[in-house]
Structure 1
């Protein structure tokens, strides 16, 4: 997984793919306000990467909301200057996990070019308990992206990720690598 960017406290409006988009468009009308002013990390899966995704936190799955996007745009960093608002146009599933440590966490699975399916494991059901690192599902063929959104003031990202992000550099992040600590 390649950390494409993280930001503390600037999640309301983000510069992604050279076009601003809002949390409301990304997460949907029913949950976005819970994350206003929050922090997020974007994790891009390249075609050569392991195409399973895992729970970012311990908690309980509060809701799973599919959002049927209009397209399957690429999430390749070379397309960063595209005028298309990729993460708010692509098919995605917004998963809300309630964590005793981090509060509500939105874990967004985003489909991309040649990734028409987001498949969950049996554990991913509303009301299920999940452990940090639990296998939640997979993407069918190709690359894609997971976006994790934390409520305001709930996480402090590691300095190396913030430095890379400020330089617009991707950071290779493997399963189990620290992204930050609870605030």
Structure 2
């Protein structure tokens, strides 16, 4: 995955009460889609033994927890190849990719890619270097603000360079 070295990662947290279906962030063609098995109910030792704060282990979990990896070649050549990586956190180990999401299948922005079956989770969008011009202010996570607004499905996350 050398394409993404030095690129941009957008990571969003989903609580157990949030919407748990994944949608294509761009229109494009599926290059590869698979589930990578991983740990179950793991957290980073460096974050302490507080089991009620799994959100502190998000970056760790993105590397070791069960996750789906979906590569999309965007129709927009500026975006090019990008990755959608939904990650099952804590008790979630069920990343279910829609059966239509196979190499060669074209998706439109907003099409469903798959879903989690239970619990809290996180999702990463990975872009090649130089693709993202800026993130929408409303899409920037505010982990210290319990009243921060939710980022709604199909809302603007970022602007690609032109």
With normalisation by structure 1, the TM-score equals 0.71
Distance 1:81 1:143, change over 3 A: closer
Aligned pairs for 1:45-124 (under 5 A) are 45-73=14-42, 78-81=53-56, 85-101=60-76, 102-124=79-101
SS in 2 for 1:34: helix
Q: Which runs of 5+ in 2 are unaligned?
A: 44-50
CA drift at 1:44:
1.5
Structure 2 distance, partners of 1:120, 1:89, is 19
Structure 2 distance, partners of 1:144, 1:128, is 26
1:179 aligned to 2:157? yes
CA drift at 1:83:
10
The equivalent residue for 1:25 is none
What number of residue pairs does the alignment pair up? 150
SS in 2 for 1:172: coil
The RMSD of aligned alpha carbons is 2.7
CA drift at 1:51:
1.2
CA drift at 1:122:
3.0
CA drift at 1:167:
8.1
Aligned pairs for 1:131-170 (under 5 A) are 131-160=108-137, 164=140
The equivalent residue for 1:8 is none
Relative to its length, the structure with more strand (as a share) is 1
Cα deviation 1:62-119 (Å, max 9, x = unaligned): 0123322133336x99335559822111011211100132111111011122212111
Structure 2 distance, partners of 1:81, 1:108, is 18
The answer to whether the 8 Å contact 2:97/2:114 transfers is: yes
The equivalent residue for 2:47 is none
Q: Which region of structure 1 is more displaced relative to structure 2, 131-140 or 78-87?
A: 78-87
Structure 2 distance, partners of 1:167, 1:81, is 10
Q: Which has the larger radius of gyration?
A: 2
Structure 2 distance, partners of 1:145, 1:106, is 14
Structure 1 segments of 4 or more deviating over 4 A? 80-84, 164-171
